[in-house]
Amino acid sequence: MGDEPGITRDRIQMEVLWKGRRFLLTDTGGMTFGLDEAFPELINEQVRIAVETADHVIFVVDGRTALTSTDRELAAWLRKTNRPVTVAVNKSDTDRRDGLLSDFFELGFGDPEPVSAEHDRNIEALLGRFAADLPVEDEEAPLLEGELAPAEPRVIRICIIGRPNAGKSTLLNRLTGAERAMVSPIAGTTRDAVDAAIERDGVRFELVDTAGIRRKGKTTEMTEKLSVVMAQRHLRMADVALMMLDAEQGVAALDANIAGYAHEAGKAVILVVNKWDLISHVQQADFRRQVQDALRYLDYAPLLFISAKTGSKTENLFPLIRKVYRESRKRIATGELNRFLASVDLDRASSPGFKKPKIYYLTQARVGPPTFVFFTNQAEAFHFSFERFLINQLREEFGFEGSPIRILNKAKKR
């Protein structure tokens, strides 16, 4: 992500398919020794968990510098784990640098592998060191073009978003039952997006905990700017967004900005009010009104009150995630849509100065989000109030709970 040290803090996990061989690759933060600060110790704990659950360890060292005391201490610790280890000497950009590998034999893990991650040098050789003996599997056949999404999905990708210290990492760890992400009362602990997966009732839920997004004026460090970019990227790749709200802090303008990213990306959204156990004196009805005022455009998103720390109500997330996923993938037949259109009183949408279009018919163009094309006698886009009226009518008839709806206008050819 960048040249600045310390950018990676959590374990970042990705599934890799290499020459028909599938495995999980985990990237960890840089391990340090002899520091009593909070972050280094949290990072070290994440590294320990990653190594203990790994079948093979890639020990990355800097080929442009001499071995450091940290390299030697880490090597001594790795030898005690009894895990197979390959030393990858990074930044070995040319053959000339390969002659400088002799120092790295001292680490005691056999022949080091000279690589350059930046220039993609010798990466195939490195993969072969630990993946060549894995079984070869057939790649999954792609879906047929135009095939509808299954009613019960095999995989649902979930992105957890929100401002710093709203409890995103705590929720991820609670849902997966493991310390997958660093949890600290210090806001901004998570800089990366952290992948984890859990299977329930035949459905695989893939979760990404993103870094807390700050106000633009507060985003000055390169690491934080990258965190925002990566959070938006992972949101685009997700099926469902869990928008975390802090019950203690209430709903702020920043929450509206962050939730807007999910809405604009067309993702199904669940509003998750965390730390509800800390403010029992506040009524849910009062908080709902607060949400309705600040997040008016997300009136379609269900609201769930939980405590990620105690686990209260967190189990209700899985059926709710499945529900909003199905709603966002719902497809309505053209005949049913046009019967619905005939029953709508379009005169109710009239307002002074508004020229109501003549609608000939409509059809659903796509799902995720549900997108409807209205064929009319006008080429220009609908007035926002008329579009809002049509969306409300579609929701009243067909649901689509948790999902945004897109409306397109297309002039019918004469």
The hierarchical CATH code for the domain 155-328 is 3.40.50.300
- Structure confidence at residue 148 as a pLDDT band (50, 70, 90): very low
Q: List 240's β-bridge partners, or say none.
A: 158, 268
Cut 0.75: pTM above it: no
Q: What is the Cα gyration radius of the chain?
A: 26
Question: What pLDDT digit, counting tens, does each position of 272-290 carry?
Answer: 999 998 886 778 888 889 8
Q: Choose among 287, 289, 262, 265: nearest CA to 276.
A: 287
Q: Choose among 375, 369, 376: nearest CA to 398.
A: 369
Residue with tokens 């093979």: 56
Please indicate whether residue 42 or residue 382 has the higher confidence score (pLDDT). 382
- Indicate if 155-328 has the same CATH topology as 12-131: yes
Please indicate whether residue 187 or residue 34 has the higher confidence score (pLDDT). 34
Give alpha helix (H) positions in 240-333.
253-264, 284-294, 317-328
Q: What angle do CA 224, 230, 231 make, to 5 degrees?
A: 90
Q: CA-to-CA distance for 93 and 100, rounded, in angstroms? A: 12
Q: What's the token pair of residue 122?
A: 């010798």
Q: CB pairs under 8 A, 24+ apart, for 111-116?
A: 112/61, 112/87, 112/88, 113/86, 113/87, 113/88, 113/89, 114/63, 114/89, 115/88, 115/89, 115/90, 116/90, 116/91, 116/92
The hierarchical CATH code for the domain 334-411 is 3.30.300.20
Number of Cβ within a 10 Å radius of residue 189: 21
Question: What pLDDT digit, counting tens, does each position of 383-400 carry?
Answer: 888 999 999 999 999 999
387: which residues sit within 8 A by CB, 6+ positions away? 381, 407
> How does the average pLDDT of the chain come out, rounded?
79
Pick the CATH number of 12-131 from 3.40.50.300, 3.30.450.40, 3.40.50.720, 1.10.1370.20: 3.40.50.300
Span 255-260, mean pLDDT?
A: 90
Q: Is the pLDDT of residue 359 over 80?
A: yes
Domain segments of the chain as ranges? 12-131, 155-328, 334-411
Q: List 286's β-bridge partners, or say none.
A: none
Determine the pLDDT at residue 339.
Answer: 94
